[in-house]
């Protein structure tokens, strides 16, 4: 009887600890992010200071992406809409940001059409090749242009992480956009206050 009680108690404690989030965000202290100067979907100059005091979801992709980017960005936009219903105060503190890795084609006008399809507050950012190269380095993002097709089009291979950044621009966590909007909203609630 005593052995059963000890085993049951140990299992109960393990179950409690397994569901508790870690005390610190998983990306706390990581060297991800930094200063940037880019152009938004309205042609306006934007820097990291433009988002001061807001949590941001930083996702890197390109608008001509045939599958992954639209799916990921849809999950991010839907997660923010979910938060707007369940926790409007928190949702108001969050800015979803889409940064292109294909500035040659992703002009402000192209970005405007793309981001507006996913969330009205989503910001699309582009810039010169040098500006995009710098922000990709600062956010540990990989991309490389594929071979051109006979028609001149091309794909861009790229990493697909979505970062949740705190109001000071520090990284908190990776968001699981590949698992859908509910998983993204849950992870945001875990780390954003």
d(CA 62, CA 80): 20
Cβ–Cβ < 8 Å for 94, 57: yes
Residues in the chain: 193
For the purposes of burial, counting CB atoms within 10 Å of the CB of 88, is it exposed (0-12), middle (13-18) or buried (19 or more)?
exposed
Tokens linked to 12: 């109960």
Tokens matching residue 133: 């190269």
Which positions make up the binding site?
65, 69, 158
Q: How many CB atoms lie within 10 A of CB 174?
A: 14
Point out the annotated binding site for Cu cation. Answer: 65, 69, 158
Residues in CB range of 44: below 8 A, 6 or more apart: none
Q: Say which residues have a Cβ less than 8 Å from residue 62's Cβ, sequence separation at least 6.
A: 69, 100, 101, 102, 105, 106, 156, 158
């Amino acid at each position: 009887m005593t052995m059963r009680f000890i085993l049951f108690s140990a299992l109960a404690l393990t179950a409690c600890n397994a569901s508790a989030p870690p005390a610190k965000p998983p990306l706390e202290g990581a060297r991800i992010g930094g200063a940037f100067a880019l152009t938004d979907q309205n042609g306006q100059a934007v820097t990291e200071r433009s988002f001061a005091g807001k949590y941001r979801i930083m996702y890197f992709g390109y608008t001509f992406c045939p599958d992954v980017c639209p799916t990921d960005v849809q999950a991010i936009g839907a997660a923010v809409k979910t938060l707007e219903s369940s926790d409007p105060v928190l949702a108001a503190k969050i800015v979803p940001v889409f940064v292109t890795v294909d500035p040659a084609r992703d002009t402000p006008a192209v970005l405007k059409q793309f981001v507006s399809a996913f969330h009205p507050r989503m910001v699309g950012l582009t810039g010169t090749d040098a500006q995009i190269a710098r922000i990709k380095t600062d956010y540990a993002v990989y991309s490389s242009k594929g071979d051109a097709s006979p028609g001149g089009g091309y794909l861009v291979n790229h990493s697909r992480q979505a970062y949740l950044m705190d109001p000071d621009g520090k990284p908190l966590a990776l968001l699981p956009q590949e698992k859908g909007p509910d998983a993204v909203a849950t992870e945001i609630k875990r780390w954003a206050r």
